[in-house]
Each structure stands twice: as C-alpha cells, then as structure tokens.
Amino acid sequence: MSEQRKPCKRGCIHTGVMLYGVLLQGAIPREYMISHQTDVRVNENRVNEQGCFLARKQMYDNSCGAASLLCAAKELGVDKIPQYKGSMSEMTRKSSLDLDNRCERDLYLITSGNYNPRIHKDNIADAGYSMPDKIVMATRLLGLNAYVVEESNIFSQVISFIYPDARDLLIGMGCNIVHQRDVLSSNQRVLEAVAVSFIGVPVGLHWVLCRPDGSYMDPAVGENYSCFSTMELGARRSNSNFIGYTKIGISIVITNEAL
C-alpha cells in the first residue's frame, strides 16, 4: 500500500471546520461523479464470474457509504436484506441482497437517517450523508458486526470538537470505538473515510471500501484497485482537477462472525 499523503498544515483547522458538513458523512463533490444513476448488475455478473471482488458505482451524490457497505456485505456472504417499511425491498417483495439500485437505495435510506417514515424524503437523491452510527445500524441489520476506528490526528480532533455527538451516538448504541485498527482477517472489510482534494485543496470526504489484501473499491468510479495509490490514479483519470485522497484515520471495520 502506498504511503499516506500528509495533509497540509496551513489552515488545517479552518479546513476541518469548513468541511465538517461532509466530514465523516460520505459526501463527494458533484463534479467528481461520473454518473449518479448507474445500475451495475451486469458488472456484478462479470466480476463474479472472474472470482474477483465486487465493485459498484454509487447512485447518488452522497451514497458512497451505502454503495461501499453493499459491496462489503456481498463479499462477506450476506444474501438477505430486511424489508423494512418504506423500503424498495418491501414494495417489490424481494429480500435478496443484490448489487443493484434497490438494495443501495434501501441501505442509503438507513445510512442517511431517512428510514423513519416521519422524516422520509420524497426525493432520495436529497436524503443527505451517511453517518457512522447509521452505517453501523445498517451493518447490524444485515447481520454483521462493526466497530469504529478513530486514530489520533488533526482530522479526528477537529471532528470530536465540532461534532461531539458522533461519539455519543456510537457509544449509546453499544458500538466500540478504538484508536488503532488491527490487521484484517478474511471475514472482515473496512469502510474508510478519505479526504478528497481538488487542485491541492481538501473539499470533502468520501467513503471507500478496503480489504484484507490492501485492495480498494472506489464507489465514485465504480472500480476495484490493487492499493491506495492506484485508487488515486483511477480518480485522477476521471477528473483532471482531482489531486488525491488523504486518509483521515476514521474507518468502520465490518465483520461476519459466521465466516
């Protein structure tokens, strides 16, 4: 895996405050998205036949967390999704977990906090961002376990200062928070938050999928990459203004205890 980029020290506190509306939430600038409404079931068949890892391009601007979780759950052997009230799975009476728009939408309603009919938005594209506690909730609904890693650095310090409720929400739901990530096992996947930089300036954060072998899946592009640096190269090819990703030390480790 390539060496982690170091965030610019100049104005880092201001940058952290400015970006907190998207920090930890999974947002990525609209201009970086190649397509907002892509169904990749054909791609799923292709990668399964090759015995490779799965990849999914996110449907909506802010659904990278849901798309990453969908791929992680499928790779960990999950084949069912709950038919909760208001979900597309309930409306279509389907309970299979598939790499399609239905399942990403259903997970996105949960990770964005819009699963409650009282706050459900008519336009799912405006549902908002995927927060860590809601990602953990969706993970549990899929029968998987999760814990959060919060490494000590300037990004995590700004997050804790600006948004102290994030930790309380996780603790309140019994989710462990640790400061160092252990070596991953084959029955684990990681949703990792990375800062997105355009023209050298951090402009938002984004959830990507990381695996025990060091490979990544970037839902903004919908492709798998052998390591962090090749993922950056793939992102640069998709947008000439894109500079790179920076690891911020926030991640969610997902485990299938049955494997």
Q: How many helices (H) and strands (E) does the chain have?
A: 9, 7
From the candidates 61, 64, 100, 106, which is the catalytic residue? Answer: 64
The three-state secondary structure class of 162 is: helix
Residue 14 appears among annotated catalytic residues? no
198 touches 29 (CB < 8 A): yes
From the candidates 103, 175, 206, 210, which is the catalytic residue? Answer: 206
Which residues, in sequence order, are CB contacts of 67 under 8 Å at separation 6+? 56, 57, 58, 59, 104, 219
Which residues, in sequence order, are CB contacts of 3 under 8 Å at separation 6+? none
From the candidates 100, 106, 133, 218, which is the catalytic residue? Answer: 218
Residue 64 appears among annotated catalytic residues? yes
β-bridge partners, 75: none
Residue 122 appears among annotated catalytic residues? no
Q: What is the set of active-site residues?
A: 64, 206, 218
